[in-house]
Amino acid sequence: MRAARIVRVNGTGRRTSMARRFERIAFIASPNPESRQAAAQLMARYDNVSPEDADVVVALGGDGLMLQALHRFIDGSKPIYGMNRGTVGFLMNEFREDGLLERLESAQRSVVHPLRMDAEDIEGTVHKAQAINEVYMLRQIHQTARLRILVDGQERLPELIADGILLATPAGSTAYNLSVGGPILPLDAQLLALTPISAFRPRRWRGALLPSHARIRVEVIDPDHRPVAAVADHTEFRRVRWVEASLDQHTDLVVLHDPGHSLDERILREQFG
């Protein structure tokens, strides 16, 4: 395999060669035809290795694929550079075939941390999952959920009657959290957004901004008759008794963006419509 190097012209007019940060690239794609075609075009122009052997993963698809890639490499801190071949593409860069190696070299790093969730179901089994965007609880039947909220072991809300509740990271604050009326958080904010989903009581409670080191516990009141599901991104557990969630600040997930289009910049733009 040929080595990936960058060639520059110095002040004397001579060409100099520098080793790149990312010499081994892996391409992954969503199953839709547009993403697969884009991957084939790029692999025809650039060397491709397996994701496990790569220095960087180039993901071709939409935000769903980006979340899948971050979950797949959550233990290895492998940087992900996405190019949009999906729909919204909030986490993705513009797709172009040309200049990929140069774009990777100049890309800016955004570091996000996942949430860790523990959830006990009515059978007493404790389930574990991780979330890049959010952990949320949602009623399973026509009746509203009744929830008790504790922060760092202290009761903060004895009863929330609502469709559910959501805990979002800064990276996930522009996703489901924003759709249910939660605040947008800057990426470097040391905060988590706790947002009710269609709250009935207390009517005026709009949620809370919590420090990033907080541990949140939500208990289901009467889980047998008012069942509630717990979800960490795309992993769901049904009929839970309680959920605990906190930010894993020891795990760094790296997303790469073109200059001027970093995740910080995109979140800032969202706040101005």
Please give the domain boundaries of the chain with CATH numbers for all domains: 5-112+252-270 (3.40.50.10330), 115-247 (2.60.200.30)
Q: Residue 179, annotated ligand binder?
A: yes
H or E element, residue 45: helix 33-45
What does the pLDDT look like over 117-162, one tens digit per residue?
999 999 999 999 999 999 999 999 999 999 999 999 999 999 999 9
Q: Residue 176, annotated ligand binder?
A: yes
Q: Residue 177, annotated ligand binder?
A: yes
Q: Is 63 a catalytic residue?
A: yes
Residue 271 CA to residue 174 CA, distance in Å, equals 9
* Residue numbers in the chain where pLDDT is lower than 50: 1-18
Q: Residue 136, annotated ligand binder?
A: no
47 closest CA partner among 22, 79, 74, 77: 22
pLDDT the model gives residue 265? 83
What does the pLDDT look like over 57-67, one tens digit per residue?
999 999 999 99
pLDDT the model gives residue 108? 92
Amino acid type, 184: I
Given the residues 55, 63, 121, 152, select the one marked as catalytic.
Answer: 63
